[in-house]
Amino acid sequence: MAVVLGFSLAAAAAKAVPVSTGFTWTTAAVGLLNLLVGGVLVAIIKSRPALKKIANEREANLLNERAEEMEAMRQRIAKLEKKGEFKEALHQAERAVDRHRINNLDQCLTAFLMMVKKNPDDAATAAAMIEEMRAQQIAREKQEAGAIHAAAIAATKPGAPE
């Protein structure tokens, strides 16, 4: 080795300070991480209005769907209430016919007993009169029941008012 001005190159190389290029893998990783985090933050900040718009549209759609469902339920409830009122009216009419029938039977029995008590020997004539009266009552009861059922059938036809 050559000695130049009292220095040997080997000794100088051993004591030399390494020259850094400024690049290390740690610095590169930190820089890349900063770039990624910054990019993600920018993407999140820029996408917030679009995400908010999507959320608002979804909420508006849900509100509209619920409003439509509620309106459909209101219509269904009104229809069911009308149907219930109709059935109640039909039931009341049928009960009125039944009460009328019971009153007729009571009248016939009372009339028969009164006729038999008045003239026990004429029970056959009294029975014939009561049978005739009862036949007329049965015919009227059938007409009443027929009118009620005809009204019920007419009300359940497709063209009937709701």
Residues 6-29 have pLDDT tens digits of 556 565 555 655 656 667 888 888
Average pLDDT over residues 53-62: 94
Residue 162 pLDDT greater than 70, yes or no: no
- Residue 153 CB: number of other CB atoms within 10 A? 10
pLDDT at 151: 84
CA pair distance 118, 126, nearest whole angstrom: 10
- Are 141 and 101 a contacting pair, CB within 8 Å? yes
CA pair distance 74, 96, nearest whole angstrom: 33
pLDDT at 103: 93
pLDDT at 1: 47
Domain ranges, ordered by start, for the chain: 25-156
Residue 160 pLDDT greater than 80, yes or no: no
Among the residue ranges 24-33, 35-44, 48-57, 133-142, the one predicted with the least confidence is 24-33
CA pair distance 28, 36, nearest whole angstrom: 12
Q: Is the pTM of this model over 0.85?
A: no
pLDDT at 70: 97
